[in-house]
Amino acid sequence: MSYPTFHNLIGGQWLPAVSGKSILNLNPADHRDVVGAFPSSHAEDVALAMAAAQKAFVSWRLVPAPKRAEILMRAGLLLKDRKEQYAREMTREMGKVLTETRGDVQEAIDEAFYVAGEGRRLFGQTTPSELPNKFAMSLRVPLGVVGLITPWNFPMAIPAWKLFPALVGGNACVIKPASATPLSVYNLVQALVDAGLPPGVVNIVSGSGPAVGMALVEHPGVRAVSFTGSSEVGSQVAQRAAALFKPVSLEMGGKNAQIVLDDANLELALDGALWGAFGTTGQRCTATSRILLQKGIAARFTAEFVSRAQKLVVGNGLEASVEVGPQINPSQVETSAKYVAIALAEGAKLLTGGHPLTEGAYAHGSFFEPTVLGGVTPSMRIAREEVFGPVVGLMEFDSFEQAIEIANSTDYGLSTAIYTKDVNRAFTAMRDLETGIAYINAPTIGAEVHLPFGGVKRTGNGHREGLGAIDFFTTWKAVYVDYSDKLQRAQIDNAE
């Protein structure tokens, strides 16, 4: 079997892992198709990358921010030219349908253009001093070398959310791509390199989370860590980073609800629910995993939603007719099956789906049927725990107030949608939903790069991607210029 071999990018050079070992990147739609062999790295590789990043940071931080931004703009244009190639390669390694991987690359393009504009907007403040003949101001300055740990479900967009703000802020970066989808990060960084990014400013170390991710968190040269992944791993990252006094940005799981009130446009709500639940095969942190139905429309909505779910075409995402691709690997299929079994044992009803697809065209892939569960109650595990698969639970409620209470009843707080024509209830929902993102008459998925992205509770720790990422990847420096030509003592009672 012939397939390409990739290396780590360290100081502008492509180097194999110190161990000499590799991890095979398999097509989740057909495990016989090997996308490539990527380094199985460890702490030694992280140390090499850190040394290169620290060396590059010395000069990169002195490049004017508008000039750093010009590199991002050129990278965005290169991504635009390579969009179809990179999207097809992403579908092959990650599985989601081609229209979605095109959108993933487009989000990286959008992020490049947006953050490039921030190169002239790294504003500080000037302010009056309390003393005469003294000038006071504040500046944004880079942190140093930052560690970036990225997930497999948006293998180019999310790395772009992290890399581009970090770079325009003047930081050097070591990035660990998800071991299931490293090629898309390689493609993203290749665009930066081709756009003129100096060697060592971005370094790629590929490998498993325990071997590379934690080594990155623990390396003394890493000034901050940005992590996207599960809440369980995020907790470990946060605890270790806290012990080392390192800032950490966490974007983690969700248990997102779509609320449908009696007065909703049901066709619109059905379209949103189908896309929110089964887009990206349910493998989004913003995926709709709970649909809350007011009792007046519950029966009608349920019948139509189940019918539409049954008609979805599952298969290889490169095929034009396919609407739902594979799950990322057999382990995720097992998780989906496990949660369906738990839900049924707790009293939920299987309305459609519920099983792995293993016959015929599905025999060599990781496929699971689009699944709808009815009779779900707020106390069930299927209503509280993240599945990260094409599994959605339907729940019924009486009043608007009860819907808000159910939506807020989980440990997560990323995204919620409400469908209603009542403007008063829409604005009340905006105020009362305990989530970082709220959609009115739109699905729970579909964030835009120039707004803050993140959540509350077990979803995040207060930092945001998008608007807010610059805040995380820079720090403040206060500057005082005393031109009085004499000693002036601040915070001393100077009254005569």
pLDDT greater at residue 489 or residue 382: 382
Tell me the mean pLDDT in the region 154-160: 98
Catalytic (active site) residue 319? no
pLDDT at 493: 65
Neighbouring residues of 386: CB distance < 8 A, sequence distance ≥ 6: 230, 231, 253, 254, 255, 289, 412
Question: Using CA atoms, how far apart are residues 488 and 295, in angstroms rounded to an integer?
Answer: 71
Residue 281, sorted as left (phi over 0), alpha (psi -120 to 50) or beta, turns out to be: left
pLDDT of 300 above 90: yes
Query: Within 10 Å of residue 289's Cβ, how many Cβ atoms?
Result: 30
Percent of the chain, pLDDT > 70?
Answer: 99
pLDDT at 385: 98
pLDDT of 1 above 80: no
Q: Which of 107, 251, 386, 396 is catalytic?
A: 251
Residue 437, sorted as left (phi over 0), alpha (psi -120 to 50) or beta, turns out to be: beta
Per-residue model confidence as pLDDT tens digits over 241-279: 999 999 999 999 999 999 999 999 999 999 999 999 999
Tell me the mean pLDDT in the region 308-321: 98
pLDDT at 383: 98
pLDDT at 232: 95
pLDDT at 425: 98
Bridge-based pairing state of the strands 456-457 and 474-482: unpaired
Residue 298: half-sphere exposure toward Cβ, Cα within 13 Å: 16
Per-residue model confidence as pLDDT tens digits over 18-63: 999 999 999 999 999 999 999 999 999 999 999 999 999 999 999 9
234 contacts 252 by C-beta, under 8 angstroms: yes
Catalytic (active site) residue 251? yes
| Local structure of residue 323 (DSSP, 8 states) | S
173 contacts 202 by C-beta, under 8 angstroms: yes
Residue that has been written with the tokens 């990739």 in this structure? 6
Residue that has been written with the tokens 């689009």 in this structure? 370
pLDDT of 490 above 90: no
pLDDT at 491: 76
Per-residue model confidence as pLDDT tens digits over 56-94: 999 999 999 999 999 999 999 999 999 999 999 999 999
Per-residue model confidence as pLDDT tens digits over 198-228: 999 999 999 999 999 999 999 999 999 999 9
Rg (CA), the chain: 24
160 contacts 111 by C-beta, under 8 angstroms: yes
| All structural domains of the chain | 8-252+460-478 (3.40.605.10), 256-440 (3.40.309.10)
Strands annotated E in 270-366: 288-294, 349-352, 356-357
What is the dihedral sign for C-alpha 485, 486, 492, 493?
A: negative
pLDDT of 495 above 80: no
| Local structure of residue 210 (DSSP, 8 states) | I
Per-residue model confidence as pLDDT tens digits over 334-382: 999 999 999 999 999 999 999 999 999 999 999 999 999 999 999 999 9
Position 458, amino acid = R
Q: By C-alpha distance, which of 121, 122, 109, 116 is closest to 67?
A: 116
Question: Using CA atoms, how far apart are residues 400 and 428, in angstroms rounded to an integer?
Answer: 10
Query: Within 10 Å of residue 109's Cβ, how many Cβ atoms?
Result: 22
Tell me the mean pLDDT in the region 313-317: 98
Q: Which of 107, 111, 285, 386 is catalytic?
A: 285
How far is residue 307 CA from its own chain's centroid? Answer: 31
Give buried/exposed letters for 84-96 (b at 16+ CB in 10 A, else e).
eebbebbbbbbbb
Q: Which two tokens stand for residue 416?
A: 């919620």
Per-residue model confidence as pLDDT tens digits over 95-146: 999 999 999 999 999 999 999 999 999 999 999 999 999 999 999 999 999 9
